[in-house]
Amino acid sequence: MTALSLTNVCKSFGQVEVLKDINLTVEEGEFVVFVGPSGCGKSTLLRVISGLEEATSGDIEISDNSVNDVPPAKRGIAMVFQSYALYPHLTVRDNMSLALKQERKPKDEIATRVAEASRMLSLGDYLDRRPSELSGGQRQRVAIGRAVVREPDLFLFDEPLSNLDAALRMNTRLEIARLHRQLGASMIYVTHDQIEAMTLADKIVVLRDGRVEQVGSPMEIYNHPANRFVAEFIGSPSMNFVPAERLGGQNGQFVGIRPEYAQVTPNGRLKGKVIHVEKLGGDTNILIDLGDDLTFTSRVFGQYDTHVDQEITLDFDDTKCLSFDAEGQRI
C-alpha cells in the first residue's frame, strides 16, 4: 500500500503559485523529510496534504484512497507542530486522551493507548502533571504522544524541534527515530535542520520555489546531487565550487568539492590565504581566500593549528569531485 500519493498538485494564493506540479509518493512505513530554503512551500505542502489548505488542482491519495474531498479530521493523519499548543488546564493524561474522548472511544481503550504512548515517549512519570510543570522537551513529547494515541495512517511533523535547545533537540530527535522504528508508521517531516534531515529520513525531498528538485535517500542526495542547488543546500559547511579552468583537465564549468575532501597539504593544487578558522574541537573548518573572489572551505579532522593570513595549499581526491555545467546541472 502507498501511504501517500500526490499527482500534479498545485496551490496558488491569488496570483501567487506556491506549489507547482508536485508529484510524490510516500511508501508505507517510510520516513520522508521535506527540506528547502525559507518560503519554498514546505509548510504549504504539508497543509495541503493535511487538508488544512485545499489544493488548487491535482490529486491526493492517502492509503490508496482519494482524499481531495475529505475534511482534515477524516484523513487518517495526525499533525505535530512547532508550537505544541497543549491545553494548560489539562494534565498530560487528559491532553493525550482528549481527541480519543471526542471520538467517543471506550474508556479502557483510551487508557491502554495513553499508557502505551507514554511508555514509548518516557512520559509515564508525568501523566498527572500540567504542561506548565514540564520542560520544553517534555511538552513536545506530549504533543507527539497526542498524535501517537490516535494511531494515524500518516504522521505530519512541521518543524517540531525548532523551539528546543541543542541538547533537547538531539534527545527528542532520537526519540522520534525510535518511535518511527517501533511504530513502523509513515511519517512526513518538515525541517530546516540538516542533521535532522540526514539522520531521520529514509527519503529526502528537496524543494525549491514550489517545485521538487530531487528525491532520494540522504546518501544519494549527498553523494549524487542532481544539480548545484541541491549540492549547495545539503551538507554543512556547503560544497565548494571552483571554476574548472582553474583546476585544468576537469570536465564542465564548475567542479564541486566537499570541504572534507579538500585537505591542507604541501604543494597542493589550490593556493590561498587563511581568512577565518573555526575550531569545533572534533573538527576544524578553515576558510581560505583563493583569489578572484573565491572563498573555499576545508574541513580538517581534529584540531588543526593554523591562523588568519597564513598561506596554505590544499589538494583533493579527484574521484570525489563532482562536475557541473554552466546551468548548474550535474554532468
Ligand X SMILES: Nc1ncnc2c1ncn2[C@@H]1O[C@H](COP(=O)(O)OP(=O)(O)OP(=O)(O)O)[C@@H](O)[C@H]1O
> Interface with ligand X by CB under 6 A: which range of 10-18, 108-116, 212-220, 299-307?
10-18
Residue 49 vs 110, nearer CB to ligand X = 49
Applying CB under 6 A, among 13, 109, 182, 265 the residue interacting with ligand X is 13
C-alpha cell at 213: 528538485
Q: Backbone phi, then psi, for 293, in 5-degree steps?
A: 60, 25
Residue whose CB is less far from ligand X, 82 or 263: 82
Pairing type for strands 65-66 and 77-80 reads unpaired
Q: Which residue from 3, 6, 26, 40 is in contact with ligand X, where contact means CB under 6 A? A: 40
Window contacting ligand X (CB under 6 A); options: 39-47, 125-133, 271-279, 309-317: 39-47
Shortest Å distance, C-beta 209 to ligand X: 9
Contacts of 260 (CB under 8 A, 6+ apart): 299, 301
Which residue bears the cell 538531539? 170
User: Whole-number minimum distance, CB 213 to ligand X, in Å?
Assistant: 13
Figure out which of the listed residues 22, 33, 41, 274 binds ligand X, where binding follows CB under 6 A. 41
Asked if residues 33 and 233 have their Cβ atoms less than 8 Å apart, the reply is no
Q: Quick one: which segment of 36-44, 129-137, 245-253, 286-294 binds ligand X (CB under 6 A)?
A: 36-44
Give the phi and the psi of residue 230 in degrees, each rounded to 5.
-65, -45
Contacting range for ligand X; rule: CB under 6 A; set: 32-40, 54-62, 103-111, 215-223: 32-40
Give me the long-range contacts of 325-328 (CB less than 8 A, separation at least 24): 325/252, 325/253, 326/253, 328/227, 328/228, 328/229, 328/254
63 Ramachandran zone, left/alpha/beta (phi>0; psi -120 to 50): left
76-95 residues in contact with ligand X (CB under 6 A) are none
Residue 229, CA distances (Å) to 137, 257, 326 in order: 33, 14, 13
Query: Is residue 38 part of the contact set for ligand X (CB under 6 A)?
Result: yes
Rounded CA-CA distance 98/126 in Å is 16
Choosing from 6, 24, 44, 164, the residue that interacts with ligand X (CB under 6 A) is 44
The stretch near ligand X (CB under 6 A) out of 38-46, 60-68, 96-104, 144-152 is: 38-46
Binding of ligand X by 15 (CB under 6 A): no
Q: Footprint of ligand X on this chain (CB under 6 A)?
A: 13, 16, 18, 36, 38-44, 192
